[in-house]
Amino acid sequence: MTISGGTPDAQGGTARQTRAADLRGETGGPSGAGDEDPGPGGDATVRRSGIQGWLDGIRSTRTGHLTLKFVIGVIGAVLVIGGLIMVPFPGPGWLVVFAGLAVLATEFHWARRLLEFGRRTLAAWTAWLGRRGWTVRILVVLAAAVAAAAIVYYGLKLSLGIDLIEEARRLLDR
């Protein structure tokens, strides 16, 4: 059954109307049970339930599909941009970036590919680090701690004008 066609089907409605009604659960399949949707080869497949079924219902109309794509795009973009802003600071910056990509991946194929690339890269990095000895692991942790401390120090100094080293000297001189 094609969604884009406007020709009447066996029940007298167009294929788009029939498919949209099937997704909303208003009509049954050939058996009339309402929980099966015949596939292109005639095989019956069980319709998804829960949030995926709800999203399929929204996607069943052109307006719903475009609205969902826009809303998912805005939410995902806000998460990714917010996460990228948080990356230089200690905290969950990369976690928020990956969460934003996961949201975007529900509607956009490019985001799904990028998320998979990130997962593969993280898995490869973790496996590489796991094969190294304790010396390399300790050096990696120390390098990350020095980088985080430098980011916090220069971030506070350049944005708020707070020099942590001078503040520490003042506290020690008291």
**What is the structure's pLDDT at 159?**
85
**Bridge partner residues of 45 (DSSP):** 37
Chain segment 137-146, per-residue pLDDT in tens: 999 889 988 8
**What is the structure's pLDDT at 45?**
52
User: Which of the pair, 56 or 45, is modelled with greater confidence?
Assistant: 56
Chain segment 64-111, per-residue pLDDT in tens: 889 889 999 999 999 999 999 888 777 788 899 999 999 999 889 999
Please state the separation of Cα 140 from the chain's center in Å.
28
Chain segment 17-47, per-residue pLDDT in tens: 444 444 444 444 444 444 444 444 444 455 6
Q: How far is the CA of 79 from the CAs of 51, 71, 90, 138, in angstroms? A: 21, 12, 17, 32
User: Which of the pair, 125 or 88, is modelled with greater confidence?
Assistant: 125
**What is the structure's pLDDT at 71?**
92
Contact (CB, 8 A) for 72 and 62: no
Contact (CB, 8 A) for 30 and 10: no
d(CA 67, CA 70): 5
Burial category of 152 from C-beta neighbours within 10 Å (exposed 0-12, middle 13-18, buried 19 and up): middle
**What is the structure's pLDDT at 124?**
95
Cβ partners under 8 Å of residue 145, min gap 6: none
Chain segment 146-165, per-residue pLDDT in tens: 888 888 888 888 888 888 88
- pLDDT of residue 3 exceeding 80: no
**What is the structure's pLDDT at 38?**
47
